[in-house]
Amino acid sequence: MAAESGWKIIRSTVQHSILLYPSLNKDLMTTENTSLQKILIINAEIQSNRLLDQIIQSMGFTVLVSESIENAQQYFTLNIPSMVIINENIATQNNFNWIKSIRQKYPLLPIILYTINEKHQTLKQALRLGINDYLSTPLTREDIQNSIQANLSHSQTLRNYVLLESRRATQQLQARVNDLETLTDLARMVTSSLDVDVVLRMIVEAAVELTGAEEGSLLLIDENTGELYMRASRNFNEDFVSTFRLPVNDSLIGSVVQHGKVVIFDDNTPQKIKTSYLVHSLVYIPLKLKEQIIGVLGVDNRNKRMVFSQRDIGLLTTMAEYAVIAIENSRIFSEMVVERTKLETIINQIEDGVLVLDNNFRILVINEIAKTVLRVSGEHLIGSPIQMYPIDSELLEIIKKFETYLGKSAEINSDDERVFSAHLSKITNIGYAITLHDITSLKKMDRIKSDFVSTVSHDLRSPLTAILGYVDLVERAGPVQDLQKSFLDRIQFSVHNITNLVDDLLNLGRIEAGFDTRKEHLDLSIFTHQAIDELNPKILQSNIRLKINVPDSIGLIYASPIQMRQLLNNLLTNAIKYSKPDTTISVNLQEKESQLILQIEDQGFGIPAVDLPYIFDKFYRSGNVIGTEIPGSGLGLAIVKSIVESHQGRIWVDSTVGQGSTFTVVFPVSE
């Protein structure tokens, strides 16, 4: 090593050196390894330096000399000596502060003070700073050698102690880390595995491994007999495990169940747990679920005389909690599977199709009938988006605009020519439900009824016309009495009503049969204004105000002009008929999102909620108008609905009894 400014190396016969301190990761060294150690002398007196150098080199050490604290500080930035010998003349107050900092940074570094006068105050201050020893004049070889050897030996002893304690602490820390890793693995298994037997077996094996026990077991209470049986074990004979039964009363393990407290046993004399089951030491931890003891986790030693520690008890307590969680998770999952199986059985046994979707329209529940009707198949239906399957286009449109159709029904035709009524409803916090009810027989009966009504209507039209003709002839044949005139008026009124009914039936029959299908692109606003103008006299006669919000022009629809006139006439007539005097009828027409929305609102009787689902059925009249003098056949709204459906539109009504009704019709704007 080259000499540095202000300090120098006085070489010994050994030219190599290593750093003994502060590293504690080297193999333990003894003071016999003197050739590997350096001693730093901080002293400006040449004569004493020569003496110290001669004696220290004779001991086999490398000597480093610095004539000032500043140069010594520079050396400390490059290397750390094995010992420092400092002259009191250099150890001034400021330099004492440097010694203090060195002592704080290198607490095991031996520092010897070289003093001439042995001043009491100086020695006292030096000792308080942590000076290990001092040398005073006259210097003798024996004093120097004894001081150096004693302090190096003491320093090495301290290093060895620190190293051993560090290793011990590291081992303890590593053991704790291993414990935590094992517990983490168990926790991960508890939360991820539904096989409770595998989880419990792993818990018992971990309990044996971490505590160093010879055996481990997890016992549960048999709900039928009340006895304890082994659900999982480690290092027990299989026959012993399969036949193990232990009453809760009058047994050591049973006391854990009865009192819910940890039991620890350690004795040179083996304790009998059961016949052929003797142990020297054991720990039993209760498995507690909601203040109820459901079993016991235990480890024991049959041969070893090993006492279980508080660490063991802590680990076992944590693993017992994991076992309880695993058992409870398994129970909940089993119950869930049973309940789901029941639900699936019930849903598959009912005659209606059932489809439940989440808020993202993914399938949650679907039964076999719904699969058939909707043409949905595959192994992984649950969780799949309903849109990915080739379901009925009308139903798909309904699903896309679910909120518009909530609480309403739509008809779906299946591949086997059956007709289903699809009813849509909202399920809070889950999604949507669609029920599919087979109405094929009802539709067939409805067709038969329609055919019959159509036939009868045609057959009635001719005699009704004849009756009206003869009534007119009677009046022309000669004077009639007032009573006779009254009878004739009644006949004429009744025949007109029947004729109107027959006309409605024939119109409905034509619409349902697909007649009057001549369609064209038309402006519904023009037709709306025309219908209002035609009915204006009746509106004035009924003392009703009219509020019109209809633009002069609007998007075109592709529709039958005849049927649009009939639709508007029926809706407006219905509003006029059921409105009270001095009230308002509002007519609104607007275009929104490629759709025409027509709304006719009255302030009439309103429709009871119980009648709303049937208000568009043939011959149906609301219960709160039956018996009144308001005439009606119950066919006007049925005709409106048929017209709307034949134009791919939608119609619904919102009503409050005593406040009125609002009929809403939606048609797609033609492209």
pLDDT tens per residue, range 193-242: 778 888 898 889 888 888 888 999 999 988 888 888 999 998 888 888 88
* Residue 94 identity (one-letter amino acid): N
Q: Looking at the predicted structure, is the pLDDT value of residue 7 above 50? A: no
Q: Closest Cα partner for 89 from 140, 20, 137?
A: 137
Domain assignment of residue 182, yes or no: no
At 136 the three-state DSSP class reads strand
- What are the angstrom distances between the C-alpha of 96 and each of 35, 83, 87, 115? 30, 17, 11, 14
pLDDT at position 22: 35
Last residue of a domain, one of 303, 336, 369: 336
First to last CA, the chain: 97
Mark whether 541 and 658 lie in a shared domain.
yes
Q: Which residues contact 521 (CB under 8 A, 6 or more apart)?
A: 556, 557, 558, 670
pLDDT band at residue 654 under the 50/70/90 scheme: very high
Q: Answer with the residue of higher pLDDT: 321 or 175.
A: 321
Q: State the total domains in the chain.
A: 5
Rounded CA gap, 209 and 264, in Å? 18
Work out the mean pLDDT of the chain and round it to a whole number.
Answer: 80
Rounded CA gap, 324 and 430, in Å? 31
At 332 the three-state DSSP class reads helix
Per-residue pLDDT tens digits for 499-520: 766 666 666 666 665 556 678 8
Q: Which residues contact 310 (CB under 8 A, 6 or more apart)?
A: none
Q: Of 35-39, 396-400, 563-567, 618-622, which gets the smallest average pLDDT?
A: 396-400
CATH code for position 493:
1.10.287.130
Domain assignment of residue 344, yes or no: no
Domain assignment of residue 592, yes or no: yes
Last residue of a domain, one of 402, 433, 464: 433
CATH code for position 663:
3.30.565.10
pLDDT band at residue 272 under the 50/70/90 scheme: confident
Q: What is the largest CA-CA distance in the chain?
A: 173
Contact 439, 351 (CB under 8 A): no
DSSP state at residue 378: -
Instruction: Tell me the average pLDDT across 304-324.
Output: 86
Domain assignment of residue 180, yes or no: no
| Residue 465 host element (H or E) | helix 440-477
CATH code for position 253:
3.30.450.40
At 620 the three-state DSSP class reads coil
pLDDT band at residue 638 under the 50/70/90 scheme: confident
* Residue 255 identity (one-letter amino acid): S
Mark whether 407 and 478 lie in a shared domain.
no
pLDDT at position 597: 93
The pair of structure tokens assigned to 137 is: 């004049």
* Residue 157 identity (one-letter amino acid): T
Q: Looking at the predicted structure, is the pLDDT value of residue 14 above 50? A: no
Mark whether 291 and 201 lie in a shared domain.
yes
Residue found by looking up tokens 């409050």 in the block: 656
Mark whether 392 and 465 lie in a shared domain.
no
Instruction: Tell me the average pLDDT across 541-568.
Output: 89
Q: Looking at the predicted structure, is the pLDDT value of residue 524 above 80? A: yes
Domain assignment of residue 560, yes or no: yes
Mark whether 407 and 453 lie in a shared domain.
no
Burial class (CB in 10 A: 0-12, 13-18, 19+), 670: middle
pLDDT at position 526: 92
Mark whether 633 and 582 lie in a shared domain.
yes
Instruction: Tell me the average pLDDT across 107-132.
Output: 81
Mark whether 276 and 129 lie in a shared domain.
no
pLDDT at position 473: 79
pLDDT at position 80: 87
Mark whether 531 and 453 lie in a shared domain.
no
Per-residue pLDDT tens digits for 533-547: 988 888 888 899 999
Mark whether 278 and 317 lie in a shared domain.
yes
Give the best-scoring range by mean pLDDT among 25-29, 294-298, 391-395. 294-298
Last residue of a domain, one of 484, 512, 540: 512
Mark whether 125 and 236 lie in a shared domain.
no
pLDDT band at residue 651 under the 50/70/90 scheme: very high
Domain assignment of residue 45, yes or no: yes
Q: Looking at the predicted structure, is the pLDDT value of residue 32 above 50? A: no
Is pTM beyond 0.95? Reply is: no
Burial class (CB in 10 A: 0-12, 13-18, 19+), 474: middle
Structural domain boundaries, residue 604: 516-668
Q: What angle do CA 405, 407, 410 make, to 5 degrees?
A: 55
Mark whether 520 and 658 lie in a shared domain.
yes
DSSP state at residue 341: H
The pair of structure tokens assigned to 569 is: 């006439």
Rounded CA gap, 203 and 216, in Å? 9
Q: What angle do CA 305, 310, 316 make, to 5 degrees?
A: 90
Question: What are 296's strand-pairing partners?
Answer: 219, 286
CATH code for position 150:
3.40.50.2300
Share of the chain above pLDDT 70, in %: 83
Asked if residue 138 has a cis previous peptide bond (ω within 30° of 0), the answer is: yes
Domain assignment of residue 613, yes or no: yes
Domain assignment of residue 447, yes or no: yes
Rounded CA gap, 277 and 272, in Å? 6
Per-residue pLDDT tens digits for 427-456: 888 888 888 888 888 878 777 766 776 676
CATH code for position 383:
3.30.450.20
- What are the angstrom distances between the C-alpha of 504 and each of 412, 458, 559, 566? 27, 12, 20, 10
- What are the angstrom distances between the C-alpha of 330 and each of 182, 190, 199, 299? 22, 10, 10, 24
Q: Looking at the predicted structure, is the pLDDT value of residue 21 above 70? A: no
Contact 204, 186 (CB under 8 A): no
Q: Answer with the residue of higher pLDDT: 434 or 459.
A: 434
Q: Closest Cα partner for 158 from 109, 104, 113?
A: 109
pLDDT band at residue 276 under the 50/70/90 scheme: low
* Residue 607 identity (one-letter amino acid): I
Question: What are 431's strand-pairing partners?
Answer: 358, 427
pLDDT at position 623: 67
Q: Answer with the residue of higher pLDDT: 291 or 456.
A: 291
Helices (H), ranges, 478-605: 482-513, 524-541, 561-577
Contact 193, 200 (CB under 8 A): no
Rounded CA gap, 434 and 432, in Å? 7
Rounded CA gap, 440 and 191, in Å? 50
Mark whether 298 and 375 lie in a shared domain.
no
Q: Looking at the predicted structure, is the pLDDT value of residue 19 above 70? A: no
The pair of structure tokens assigned to 506 is: 């024939």
* Residue 90 identity (one-letter amino acid): I
pLDDT at position 31: 40
Rounded CA gap, 525 and 555, in Å? 9
The pair of structure tokens assigned to 210 is: 């971490």
- What are the angstrom distances between the C-alpha of 443 and each of 392, 447, 556, 634? 19, 6, 33, 19
Q: Looking at the predicted structure, is the pLDDT value of residue 662 above 90? A: yes
The pair of structure tokens assigned to 120 is: 């009491």
